[in-house]
Amino acid sequence: MLVDCYILDLDLQWSGYISPSLIYSLRVLDNMSKRIHRWIPTLLLLLVALSVLTTAEQSIVVEDVLGRHVELPGVPRRVVSMAPSITEVLAELDLLDRVVGVDSFSMSDWYLNTSGRLREMGIVDVGGYWWSAIRVEEILGLNPDVVLADSGAHKPLLETLESYNVTVVYIHGGSARSVNEVLSDIYTIGLVFNETSRAEELIGRITSGLNEGFKILRPYSGRRILVVLDFWQGIWVAGRATFIDDVLSRLGLVNAATTYGWSAVSVETVSKWSPDLIIVACSYATNETIREAGLYDLGKPIVLLNSTEVDIISRPGPLIQLVPQVLYAALERRLGKPVETPTVTTPQATTVTVKETETTTITTQGGMAGAMEINQAVAITIVVAIVVFFTGLYIGSRRRGS
């Protein structure tokens, strides 16, 4: 080694001119260099291990709306979506290439040409939308990494899917009681796929759409709207504590229904509510259906939405940003433009709050927060080992010197 040669040269030629302390220091340096060379393979292995741990995909842990902590070994590559609103979120986040199965309604979804793209990819129809129509055997055959389910429509399937070790993440979906819960669903899906930035962008667009909608609907502020969704054993309406109720409120309108949740009521109850406009958002309803329910007898303006408009007003996902246009068209069609503009109230802020204690992500592929925590721990351990190593060398050299 260079240090060896240098010390030998000093010993033979310059020992009379160089102080003993300098010669001793050079000898210590030579010994340390030899030790370091012996440890180089080990250090290289430690660095390789650190690199692998830093770049390897880590697990993802999400707390779903049922309070379950769902762990995924990594970003899902095979996903089954059991609701059209979920499929629409996946389409917005550019994740349809991960989809291997969807509910029947998603297979005919017009939004973002979702149905066409699914058919081109040969995606499997697993049935539904309601849990009783879902074909579990189709889901099992697809061997998905995760199933995204609606807590309102699919909760009864949880025990069955878990018995087959199928990983399921539940979102609010149709059970969402507010716009915030719809936006929270979008963020949760973003977490599952390590696409929180795109999810936040989508949330921002929806928020802006509703805020602009408030301005568009300003002339109709304060109008009492009743949204009818079905006619099965009664007149099913969107009551208080539903996402439709919250959308109406944010747009400056009033929900005429005073019941809570999705509920079936009689025509007499509707009459007592005295809505300014009845909007029928039922895909199979016809004028005859409405007449048989007795709604035409109330003498109230009624608008029967087409299938596209029904999807917009009834799906708790990206489509809610289009609700203001549907409502404006319905109000203008049946009520016309008001002569006087009612008092305008400030809309509630449309925000989504994600509690740190509710959702935890541990991902990498670019260094998300959870991955950083794990990798920092590994890095600290390695740094400590290296410090201990060199401290040992130093102490060893001191002992030899003494």
Is 344 among the domain residues?
no
Tally of structural domains, the chain: 3
- Parent domain of 114: 60-171
Extended beta strands in 116-272, E state: 124-125, 146-150, 168-171, 224-230, 235-238, 254-255, 262-265
How confident is the model over 142-160, as pLDDT tens digits?
999 999 999 999 999 999 9
Q: What is the residue-averaged pLDDT of the chain?
A: 82
CATH assignment at residue 272: 3.40.50.1980
Is 11 among the domain residues?
no
Q: Give 120 or 402, the one with higher predicted confidence.
A: 120
Q: Is the dihedral of CA 257, 259, 264, 268 positive or negative?
A: negative
Quick one: 223 and 328 in the same domain? yes
Quick one: 224 and 321 in the same domain? yes
Q: In Å, how far are 49, 60, 106, 268 from 375, measured between CA atoms?
A: 11, 15, 39, 64
CA gap 35, 271 in Å, rounded: 92
pLDDT, residue 78, reads 98
pLDDT, residue 370, reads 40
CA gap 236, 239 in Å, rounded: 9
pLDDT, residue 55, reads 42
What are the tokens at 224? 């009492």
Lowest mean pLDDT among 180-194, 233-247, 291-305, 328-342: 328-342
Nearest partner of 164 among 144, 185, 149, 191, judged by Cα: 144
Is 25 among the domain residues?
no
Q: Is the pTM of this model over 0.85?
A: no
Quick one: 103 and 154 in the same domain? yes
Please compute the mean of the pLDDT values over residues 130-145 and round it to a whole number: 97
**Contact of 87 with 155, CB cutoff 8 Å:** no
CA gap 29, 45 in Å, rounded: 24
Quick one: 222 and 311 in the same domain? yes
pLDDT, residue 58, reads 84
Helix axes 20-55, 2-9, angle to 10 degrees: 180
Phi/psi of residue 19, nearest 5 degrees:
-65, 150
Is 242 among the domain residues?
yes
Is 109 among the domain residues?
yes
Is 16 among the domain residues?
no
Please compute the mean of the pLDDT values over residues 356-383 and round it to a whole number: 41
Of 285, 306, 335, at which residue does a domain stop?
Answer: 335
Residue 32: pLDDT band by 50, 70, 90 thresholds? Answer: low
Quick one: 135 and 217 in the same domain? no
Quick one: 50 and 64 in the same domain? no
CA gap 41, 363 in Å, rounded: 30
- The CA R_g of the chain, rounded to the nearest whole Å, is 32
Quick one: 379 and 276 in the same domain? no
The label of the residue with tokens 């670019």 reads: 366
Nearest partner of 90 among 146, 132, 142, judged by Cα: 146
Other C-beta atoms closer than 10 Å to the C-beta of 347 total 17
**Which ranges constitute the DSSP H helices of 322-368?**
323-335
Q: Give 352 or 105, the one with higher predicted confidence.
A: 105
Of 335, 365, 392, at which residue does a domain stop?
Answer: 335
Please compute the mean of the pLDDT values over residues 189-200 and round it to a whole number: 98
Is 363 among the domain residues?
no
pLDDT at 137 over 90: yes
Quick one: 392 and 282 in the same domain? no
Quick one: 145 and 156 in the same domain? yes
Quick one: 149 and 105 in the same domain? yes
Nearest partner of 59 among 196, 194, 198, 199, judged by Cα: 194
The label of the residue with tokens 């240090």 reads: 3
What are the tokens at 309? 């408009």
**Contact of 264 with 236, CB cutoff 8 Å:** yes
Quick one: 232 and 301 in the same domain? yes
Quick one: 158 and 230 in the same domain? no
* Percentage, residues of the chain above pLDDT 70: 70
How confident is the model over 292-307, as pLDDT tens digits?
999 999 999 999 999 9
Other C-beta atoms closer than 10 Å to the C-beta of 165 total 7
pLDDT at 24 over 60: no
The label of the residue with tokens 């400590």 reads: 384
**Which ranges constitute the DSSP H helices of 217-348?**
243-250, 267-273, 287-293, 307-314, 323-335
Is 278 among the domain residues?
yes
Of 335, 360, 389, at which residue does a domain stop?
Answer: 335
CA gap 76, 72 in Å, rounded: 8
CA atoms within 13 A on the CB side of 378: 17
